Amino acid sequence: MPKPPILPVTDWKAVFESGKSYSDWIAGAENPEKKRAIEDGLAAQPLDPQIEGFLWKLPRVVYVVAIAEDWCGDVVRHVPVLQRLAQACDKVGVRFITREQHKDIFIRFLTNGGEAIPKFIFLSGSFVECGNWGPMPADCRKLIARGKACGDLKKAREKVAALYQADPEKRAVVTELLELIDLAAATVP
């Protein structure tokens, strides 16, 4: 029986270090309106005190590689959530890369075969890949997949928009990102 192909080993530390900080990433934004929307979203993103407490009690550092470009509506919506969590403590480090910058990384994180961003890859303090998120909350990804399956992507996108509108504080995103942060910070199985 032939051996399965072996994926190349990713040097996540090098990928992380090649990325930009939030301030450098947002300073290089190409679209002024989207840049303003991201900054406004970050300023307006609430964070409950118990979530801040949880983040400060993380037992280890967590690194996040964010594949994000400011032209994308989901990036505008979700990057402020990730950045707000990172700003709440010093144990969550985020670096931003583009699809073009690391094509080999991006191709590993397609969504149902599609090039969707943002993608957030969660790494332990020793740069071990622990999980990924994106380009939208799980319930929304399911709706898009169902829309593709039944041939009515327009209706699926309408339902996603309704879910977004019903969750202005992006609690679904916060919950899912916190689960991945907790996983990457784990000290025991």
Residue 8: which pLDDT band, with cuts at 50, 70 and 90?
Answer: confident
SS3 letters across 120-149: EEEECCCCCEEEEECCCCHHHHHHHHHHHH
Per-residue pLDDT tens for 148-179? 999 999 999 999 999 999 999 999 999 999 99
Residue 33: which pLDDT band, with cuts at 50, 70 and 90?
Answer: very high
Mean pLDDT of 117-137: 97
What pLDDT does residue 9 have? 85
Residue 163 in domain: no
CATH number of the domain at 119, please: 3.40.30.10
Per-residue pLDDT tens for 75-105? 999 999 999 999 999 999 999 999 999 999 9
Tokens at residue 20, please?
């930009």
Mean pLDDT of 9-33: 96
Report the residue count for the chain: 189
Under DSSP, the state recorded for 110 is -
What pLDDT does residue 114 have? 82
Range of the domain at 110: 12-136+170-184
pLDDT beyond 90 at 26: yes
Contacts of residue 41, Cβ cutoff 8 Å, sequence gap at least 6: 76, 77, 79, 80
pLDDT beyond 70 at 1: no
Residue 110: which pLDDT band, with cuts at 50, 70 and 90?
Answer: confident
Residue 95 in domain: yes
Residue 174 in domain: yes
Overall domain count for the chain: 1
Tally Cβ neighbours within 10 Å of residue 165: 8
Residue 148 in domain: no
Residue corresponding to tokens 């784990």: 186
Contact (CB, 8 A) for 81 and 177: yes
Residue 105 in domain: yes
What pLDDT does residue 158 have? 97
SS3 letters across 43-97: HHCCCCHHHHHHHHCCCCCEEEEEECCCCCHHHHHHHHHHHHHHHCCCCEEEEEE
Residue 87 amino acid letter: Q
Q: Environment class of residue 56 by beta-carbon count within 10 Å: exposed (0-12), middle (13-18) or buried (19+)?
A: exposed
Per-residue pLDDT tens for 130-140? 999 999 999 99
Residue 113: which pLDDT band, with cuts at 50, 70 and 90?
Answer: confident
Closest CA to 31 of 76, 91, 88, 96: 76
Closest CA to 75 of 65, 64, 67: 67
Residue 4 in domain: no
Indicate the average pLDDT of the chain.
Answer: 95
First-to-last alpha carbon distance for the chain, in angstroms, is 33
Mean pLDDT of 41-53: 96
Q: What percent of the chain has pLDDT over 90?
A: 90
